[in-house]
Amino acid sequence: MEIISDYITLSTKGDSDIKDITGEVNSRLAKAGLKNGIVNISVLGSTCAITTCEYEPGLINDLKQMFENFIPKDKDYNHDGAWHDGNAHSHLRSSLVGPSLSISFIDGKLFLGTWQQIIFIDFDNRARKRKILLQFSGE
């Protein structure tokens, strides 16, 4: 068993910009050279999140609309009263979806369906540069 750490850096536009990072995770897994184990994908920051979905333009729009329906951008939040940075909705969406995801791999392949991609969502209200940690533990 070993632990191998790697990073992905991303530039996003914010406002629920959704990035498919499956290809990057796959290439870092190949580089790590492990066969069986788990990759824990953790995002740095409290206004972004990670999950999976079918990465297809229609569904990406549906996801953005879902978050806007659940937690609207233009609403009075206590956090914005204190900080005036207008991103309370970004924080709330991030806490709901969650900041990390662990996906197993078998024989060097991520255990994901054909239409199941790993997505990073930047909920912040401005463009950001983001850092994601991939920590592979396995053999």
Q: Is 126 helix (H, G, I), strand (E, B) or coil?
A: coil
In the list 22, 26, 125, 135, the residue contacting a copy of itself (rule: CB under 8 A) is 135
Dist CA 80 CA 107 (whole Å) = 47
DSSP 20-86: E-HHHHHHHHHHHT-SSEEEEEEESSSSEEEEEE---HHHHHHHHHHHHHHS-SSS--HHHHHH-SS
| Candidate segments 8-16, 20-28, 71-79, binder of a copy of itself by CB under 8 A | 71-79
In the list 86, 103, 125, 126, the residue contacting a copy of itself (rule: CB under 8 A) is 103
16 scored as a contact of a copy of itself (CB under 8 A): no
Dist CA 19 CA 5 (whole Å) = 21
Query: Residue 27 or residue 102: which is nearer to a copy of itself going by CB?
Result: 102
How many residues bind a copy of itself (CB under 8 A)? The answer is 61
Q: Which residues of this protein are in contact with a copy of itself, per CB under 8 A?
A: 1-3, 5, 36-38, 40, 42, 44-46, 51-54, 56-59, 61-63, 65-66, 70-71, 77-83, 88, 91-92, 94-104, 106, 111-113, 115-117, 119, 133, 135, 137-139
